[in-house]
Chains A and B, each alone.
Chain A
Amino acid sequence: MTILVIAEHDNKVLAPATLNTVAAAAKIGGDIHVLVAGQGAGAVAEAAAKIAGVSKVLNADNAAYAHQLPENVAPLVAELGAGYSHILAAATSNGKNILPRVAAQLDVDQISEIISVESADTFKRPIYAGNAIATVQSNAAVKVITVRATGFDPAAAEGGSAAVEAVSAAHDAGTSSFVGEELAKSDRPELTAAKIVVSGGRGMQNGDNFKHLYALADKLGAAVGASRAAVDAGFVPNDMQVGQTGKIVAPQLYIAVGISGAIQHLAGMKDSKVIVAINKDEEAPIFQVADYGLVADLFEAVPELEKLV
């Protein structure tokens, strides 16, 4: 068995989710190859070669792959991947965008967002917003799988010494082009990788009040998240959303402030090790999953918490 892992990157830096995906590949067992598809992503290929457990890195450098357009990257992955037993990618917006297209080209059913590897052909994945866990078995010749990063501890970023091999295959479907992007700027840790996450909901009342959460987060070295209600109300940008339709996090500590705890929000955070809820409504569903609940006005509790930690 040989497993192909698709590297998640921005042409400059290898994203941490790749390490969790390699860890999932290691649980399946067999040789692990990593594909870096991009433009001028030599540094990413070098970083991938150092991941413990990786035996080969394929570097496909082409202008057509610069922005990870699925119309161009998927045919490359399908062509290279046809000889592998498994193709894995992180369940990031890129992985979710590209991999189903690969599965279609290989005429197999993809398995989305696995959280555990039972055997080389059997995997567990959450369905119904995490309210049920399905065990899925695949008899496909090539198993195409996206990996939920929070389900696997990352592989060591150092220790490997894989050879980097250039791949010349060029695919340009000509059906799509990159126009531009607007990335949210933040100095805080990345939401999906943070050890502590502080999230605000509708109870924050406005965007300005999120400053209380930022102050607390900075003191704790935490990332700041939000519920869909806070995003829809325009308090914060959508890339901060935690939940079924946003990001899935599983930090050591998740502090939910002014969040009622709808099913869709819980889907994104209920695997956190310790959950703290601060809410003035003692009937809020969030208290049913919180390890520590504090019924209080967040505008008094959060500044006090910031002072005491």
Chain B
Amino acid sequence: MKILVSVKRVVDYNVKVRVKADNSGVDLANVKMSMNPFCEIAVEEAVRLKEKGVATEIVVVSVGPSTAQEQLRTALALGADRAILVESAEDLTSLAVAKLLKAVVDKEQPQLVILGKQAIDSDNNQTGQVLAALSGYGQGTFASKVEISGDSVAVTREIDGGAQTVSLKLPAIVTTDLRLNEPRYASLPNIMKAKKKPLEVLTPDALGVSTASTNKTVKVEAPAARSAGIKVKSVAELVEKLKNEAKVI
């Protein structure tokens, strides 16, 4: 079966971002960018399914700027067979991204689509669910285990109180949680080979998708800073402060 994996180029998770002085957004100039950590887990899961003989082809797709080709090449180096970039310089909302992905799903007809559960920049946690709704497929969100058998997939999901397992008819949408797997690193020979793998570039216009949004970001601010704390010298002093100064115990 064919698996479609969606990846996003985001600011690296180790970077502490700064809000721009004009409150128009965060400053991403000269900041290290990477593949969203949850997307790495999605690619890894697809590669494992191919290694098990379940998947025959892995197509990786990204919606983003032309520089997102770097992240697609990374996915190709990790084991994806070919890549599609839907190029858009704008900062698109989850709904717009999902509509573009739906157009790619219609074109490619994958049996399984794997996405990360959320991108660490917008923290929306929407795209997989929206794509599932637009395509009318079942959704296995926050997956910690994925097992394909015949024409269905059993997905174990991380929920607030523990874990839940659902069975979905294929084709289906799965979004990854952190514990689904441990992503591998790309080896140098594979990085070289990935440069020769096919990468197709499409545009929202070519896909006939409108990326208009009902939301507008008015401003972006830094969060309120916490006032500096103090270091106590002993447990006794800590207890005394908590009881008498902070009055929380």
Contacts and interface: CB of A to CB of B under 8 A. Distances in A.
Given A97-B139, A176-B169, A179-B154, 4 more contacts: A101-B132, A127-B122, A173-B136, A239-B162
A32 to B, nearest CB: 22
Interface residues of A, number: 89
Given A70-B139, A101-B130, A239-B158, A181 B163 contact: yes
Given A135-B218, A139-B214, A293-B230, A196 B248 contact: yes
A196 B246 CA distance: 13
15 contacts: A67-B164, A93-B142, A100-B127, A104-B130, A105-B133, A122-B218, A129-B123, A130-B223, A132-B17, A132-B19, A177-B167, A181-B162, A245-B178, A287-B229, A294-B234
A59 interface: no
Interface string B153-195: 0100111111111111100100001110000000000000000
A180 B129 contact: no
B162 A92 contact: no
A100 B129 contact: yes
Contact of B166 (A92, A178, A308): A178
Interface of A: 67, 69-71, 74, 92-94, 96-105, 107-113, 122, 126-140, 173-184, 192, 196, 220, 228, 231-232, 237-239, 244-245, 247, 252-253, 263-264, 270, 273-276, 282, 287, 289-296, 301, 304-305, 308-309
Contacts of A308: 235-236, 239
Nearest to A125: B123
Contacts of A293: 229-232
A293 B98 CA distance: 45
B214 A138 contact: yes
Nearest to B134: A104
Given A184-B161, A263-B13, A245 B216 contact: no
Contact of A177 (B127, B162, B166, B213): B166
B232 A294 contact: yes
Contacts of B249: 196, 220, 253, 309
B141 to A, nearest CB: 5
B214 A109 contact: yes
Nearest to B11: A128
A122 B161 CA distance: 32
B11 to A, nearest CB: 7
Contacts of A69: 166
Most buried by B among A107, A128, A129, A309: A128
A287 to B, nearest CB: 7
